[in-house]
């Protein structure tokens, strides 16, 4: 995603870009990480729907450079995901980036999520590396 960072003092964050769907992408520091957020234009309160945290600002910017919101569900390299699960409008263009994931971020086909309440949880035995 091509960005033109602009610091927004009122929000204490950087506006990076608006994508084709009108989602506003922002970068902001968290307590121990840096977050990339996506806010839909129709959100009545202007709150983000998507958030991914990165270990540092450099990792976030590197991920954003490779991230195409039109074809990729989420950027790579994040250490934590919050908010809604996102599906890119043209996700079929990059199936290698857009395999189905459960709410906890694990690939459903791998069956290795350990959250007991996960909708994708199975009784498959633990895998050995």
Residues that bind Zn ion (CB under 5 A): 102, 104, 113, 115, 118
**Spatial CA neighbour of 86 closest among 110, 68, 59:** 68
Q: Residue 49 burial by CB count (10 A; 0-12/13-18/19+): exposed, middle or buried?
A: middle
Least CB distance to Zn ion at residue 103 (A): 6
Least CB distance to Zn ion at residue 21 (A): 26
Considering beta carbons, is residue 65 or 119 the nearer one to Zn ion?
Answer: 119
Residue 109 CA, distance from chain mean position: 20
Is 71 within 8 Å of 87 (Cβ atoms)?
Answer: no
How far is it, in rounded angstroms, from Cα 55 to Cα 62? Answer: 12
Considering beta carbons, is residue 23 or 113 the nearer one to Zn ion?
Answer: 113
Considering beta carbons, is residue 18 or 119 the nearer one to Zn ion?
Answer: 119
Least CB distance to Zn ion at residue 127 (A): 15
Considering beta carbons, is residue 59 or 118 the nearer one to Zn ion?
Answer: 118
Least CB distance to Zn ion at residue 85 (A): 11
């Amino acid at each position: 995603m091509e960005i033109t960072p602009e610091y927004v003092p009122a929000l204490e964050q950087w506006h990076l870009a608006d994508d084709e769907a009108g989602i506003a992408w922002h970068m902001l520091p968290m307590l121990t990480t840096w977050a990339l957020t996506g806010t839909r234009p129709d959100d009545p309160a202007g709150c983000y729907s998507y958030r991914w945290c990165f270990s540092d600002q450099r990792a976030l910017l590197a991920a954003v450079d490779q991230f195409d919101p039109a074809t990729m569900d989420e950027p790579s390299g994040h250490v934590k995901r919050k908010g809604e699960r996102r599906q890119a409008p043209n996700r079929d263009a990059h199936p290698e980036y857009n395999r189905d994931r459960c709410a906890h971020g694990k690939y459903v086909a791998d069956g290795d999520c350990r959250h007991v309440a996960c909708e994708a949880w199975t009784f498959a035995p633990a895998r050995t590396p």
